[in-house]
């Protein structure tokens, strides 16, 4: 059974059960109140008759009083103890009641009885007559009018229940369809995704904030996450196939050259080995960067902590200098106190990317400046290389974008794959930092990592913020 049909069925059955319980309760309470009212009224009338009959001193007076107090649809009797013949007076519509056997009761009695299939109220009150004898004043009153009224009430309740259940069944069906609409939309969207292979989100209609709306929003977030992961996979495959093609071609060419002429021309051996090694290192670095960029941002967990920036910068500069045999001078505040909030590993990776760019595009000493500006700490990597033109500066954070290859040191083909600054921007965003690139063509470049909230840096000729 479909969920909409279950909602329709269960809601209809539940409402019918509640309506039945309510109607039964109403009927029982009403019938109990009315029967109690009739019996109390009969008791009150019988007590009045008993009070009058106490003073009766002969049978004639008893008969007259019985006729005066007899119920409209019943019988009133005077029964003495000891078994004597009692005196009974009936109304015109209940003459058959006098044919029933009389009985004497020592205690007051009030009950409902059934006589010949009809309901009656019966009351017996013991009294002491004027002659000292003990007698019962017994009253019997028909309850058939009340039974007829209760029968009409049952018919009314049944009719109303049926009249109410029809729109309830219809409305529960409508409710089931309304509740199932987001689920049907979600199912239809999933099927469209399966058929077309495209990622489609639900169209949120209205401003409802219920659980179904929350489910739709969660579904859209999931689709967005899947789409992002799918796009990253496609980008990784496309980028890898595009960027790895060149180094693989170079390696293949030099390998073929060695295979054909390596024995004849020994001078080609060293050149080929260096070229193959250089391209292999370049492929390794590029692959690591591509894999990191292909990772979903949700998987990046920034472990924020307070970092003493000056010792951090000195350690990073020492490691970099030892690896690449380049001088890096660290400049900082005189008191050597400068702190910032960051993920140490991510910050170190961004800093190495900036230092590596400065190494590639300049021959002079690299400056690593540590400082604080308007309450914000920063690390700035400065070089005196060829710089970047104002036209190209806005594009440097684009993936695989590379400026003119002549920008390398003295025209050397030193440029990378165009992934470094793109990766640096993504990493900086991951731990809440900002990456600012400022450059002047022919004068050099300053790449700054700003920790914390946005701040202003000293004006330079050209600048670009990520």
> Element (H or E) spanning 234, and its range?
helix 211-243
Same domain, 387 and 307: yes
434 forms bridges with which residues in the sheet? Answer: 450
Same domain, 253 and 315: no
Q: For residue 435, is pLDDT > 60?
A: yes
Same domain, 344 and 460: yes
Q: Residue 119 — left, alpha, or beta (φ > 0 → left; ψ -120 to 50 → alpha)?
A: beta
User: Would you say residue 206 lies in a domain?
Assistant: no
- Residue range(s) defining the domain that contains residue 276: 211-294
Same domain, 283 and 307: no
Helices 309-324 & 344-360, crossing angle to 10 degrees?
Answer: 50
Report the pLDDT value the prediction gives residue 56, as an integer from 0 to 100: 77
User: Would you say residue 55 lies in a domain?
Assistant: yes
Distance between CA atoms of 152 and 146, rounded to whole angstroms? 10
> Element (H or E) spanning 456, and its range?
none
Last residue of a domain, one of 149, 176, 198: 149
Number of domains into which the chain is organized = 3
Chain center to CA of 63: 83
User: Would you say residue 394 lies in a domain?
Assistant: yes
Same domain, 88 and 33: yes
- Residue 367: HSE in the Cβ half-sphere, 13 Å Cα cutoff: 15
Same domain, 407 and 423: yes
- Structure token digits, residue 84: 């004597």
User: Would you say residue 104 lies in a domain?
Assistant: yes
Q: Which of 121-135, 224-238, 392-406 has the lowest mean pLDDT?
A: 392-406
Same domain, 30 and 76: yes
Q: For residue 412, is pLDDT > 70?
A: no
CATH number at residue 288: 1.10.287.130
Distance between CA atoms of 72 and 77, rounded to whole angstroms? 14
- The pLDDT tens digits of the residues spanning 144-195 come to 999 999 999 999 999 998 888 888 888 888 877 777 777 777 788 778 877 8
Nearest to 145 by CA among 137, 153, 156: 153
Q: Which of 135-149, 311-325, 344-358, 418-432 has the lowest mean pLDDT?
A: 418-432
**224 vs 297: which has the higher pLDDT:** 224
Count of Cβ atoms closer than 10 Å to residue 336 Cβ: 12
Q: Are strands 109-115 and 87-90 parallel, antiparallel or unpaired?
A: unpaired
CATH number at residue 319: 3.30.565.10
CATH number at residue 94: 3.30.450
CB 199 within 8 A of CB 221: no
- Structure token digits, residue 7: 């909602």
Last residue of a domain, one of 245, 277, 294: 294
Report the pLDDT value the prediction gives residue 46, as an integer from 0 to 100: 92
Q: Are strands 339-342 and 376-383 parallel, antiparallel or unpaired?
A: unpaired
Report the pLDDT value the prediction gives residue 275, as an integer from 0 to 100: 73
- The pLDDT tens digits of the residues spanning 198-238 come to 777 777 665 666 677 777 778 788 888 877 777 767 766 66
Q: List strand residue ranges (DSSP E) for 228-327, in order.
A: 305-308
User: Would you say residue 188 lies in a domain?
Assistant: no
User: Would you say residue 364 lies in a domain?
Assistant: yes
Same domain, 324 and 380: yes
Same domain, 249 and 335: no
Distance between CA atoms of 276 and 280, rounded to whole angstroms? 6
Nearest to 307 by CA among 261, 342, 272, 353: 342
Same domain, 395 and 281: no
Nearest to 372 by CA among 302, 437, 450: 450
User: Would you say residue 199 lies in a domain?
Assistant: no
Percentage of the chain with pLDDT > 70? 82
Rg over alpha carbons for the chain, rounded to the nearest Å, is: 51
Same domain, 91 and 134: yes
87 forms bridges with which residues in the sheet? Answer: 78
User: Would you say residue 442 lies in a domain?
Assistant: yes
Report the pLDDT value the prediction gives residue 168, as an integer from 0 to 100: 83
- The pLDDT tens digits of the residues spanning 67-88 come to 999 998 899 998 888 766 688 8
Report the pLDDT value the prediction gives residue 43, as an integer from 0 to 100: 93
CB 45 within 8 A of CB 110: no
With 0-12 / 13-18 / 19 or more C-beta atoms within 10 angstroms meaning exposed / middle / buried, residue 243 is: buried
Q: For residue 31, is pLDDT > 90?
A: yes
Last residue of a domain, one of 294, 311, 337: 294
Tell me the average pLDDT of the chain.
Answer: 80
Same domain, 141 and 32: yes
């Amino acid at each position: 059974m479909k969920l909409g049909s279950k909602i329709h069925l269960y809601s209809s059955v539940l409402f019918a059960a509640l309506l039945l319980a309510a109607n039964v309760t109403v009927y029982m309470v009403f019938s109990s109140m009315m029967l109690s009212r009739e019996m109390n009224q009969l008791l009150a009338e019988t007590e009045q008759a008993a009070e009058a009959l106490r003073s009766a001193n002969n049978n004639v007076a008893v008969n007259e009083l019985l006729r005066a107090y007899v119920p409209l649809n019943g019988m009133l009797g005077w029964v003495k103890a000891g078994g004597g013949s009692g005196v009974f007076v009936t109304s015109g519509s209940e003459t058959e009641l006098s044919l029933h056997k009389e009985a004497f009761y020592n205690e007051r009695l009030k009950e409902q009885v059934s006589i010949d299939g009809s309901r009656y109220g019966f009351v017996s009150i013991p009294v002491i007559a004027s002659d000292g004898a003990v007698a019962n004043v017994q009253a019997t009153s028909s309850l058939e009018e009340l039974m007829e009224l209760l029968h009409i009430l049952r018919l009314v309740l049944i009719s109303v229940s049926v009249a109410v259940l029809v729109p309830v069944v219809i409305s529960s069906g409508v409710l089931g369809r309304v509740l199932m609409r987001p689920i049907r939309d979600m199912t239809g969207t999933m099927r469209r995704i399966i058929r077309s292979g495209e990622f489609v989100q639900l169209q949120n209609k209205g401003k409802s904030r219920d659980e179904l709306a929350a489910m739709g929003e969660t579904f859209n977030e999931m689709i967005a996450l899947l789409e992002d992961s799918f796009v990253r996979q496609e980008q990784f495959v496309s980028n890898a196939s595009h960027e790895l093609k060149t180094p693989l071609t170079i390696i293949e060419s030099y390998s073929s050259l060695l295979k054909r002429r390596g024995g004849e021309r020994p001078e080609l051996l060293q050149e080929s080995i260096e070229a193959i090694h250089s391209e292999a290192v370049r492929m390794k670095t590029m692959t690591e960067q591509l894999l990191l960029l292909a990772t979903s941002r949700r998987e990046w967990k920034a472990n924020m902590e307070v970092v003493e920036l000056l010792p951090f910068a000195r350690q990073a500069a020492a490691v970099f200098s030892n690896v690449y045999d380049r001088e890096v001078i660290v400049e900082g505040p005189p008191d050597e106190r400068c702190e910032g909030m960051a993920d140490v590993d991510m910050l170190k990776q961004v800093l190495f990317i900036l230092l590596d760019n400065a190494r590639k595009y300049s021959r002079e000493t690299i400056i690593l400046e540590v400082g604080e500006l308007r309450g914000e700490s920063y690390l700035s990597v400065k070089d005196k290389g060829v710089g970047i033109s104002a036209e190209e500066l806005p594009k440097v954070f684009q993936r695989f974008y590379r400026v003119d290859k002549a920008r390398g040191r003295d025209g050397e083909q030193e440029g990378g794959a165009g992934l470094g600054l793109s990766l640096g921007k993504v990493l900086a965003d991951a731990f809440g930092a900002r990456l600012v690139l400022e450059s002047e063509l022919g004068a050099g470049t300053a790449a700054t990592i700003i920790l914390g909230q946005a701040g202003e840096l000293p004006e330079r000729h050209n600048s670009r913020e990520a």
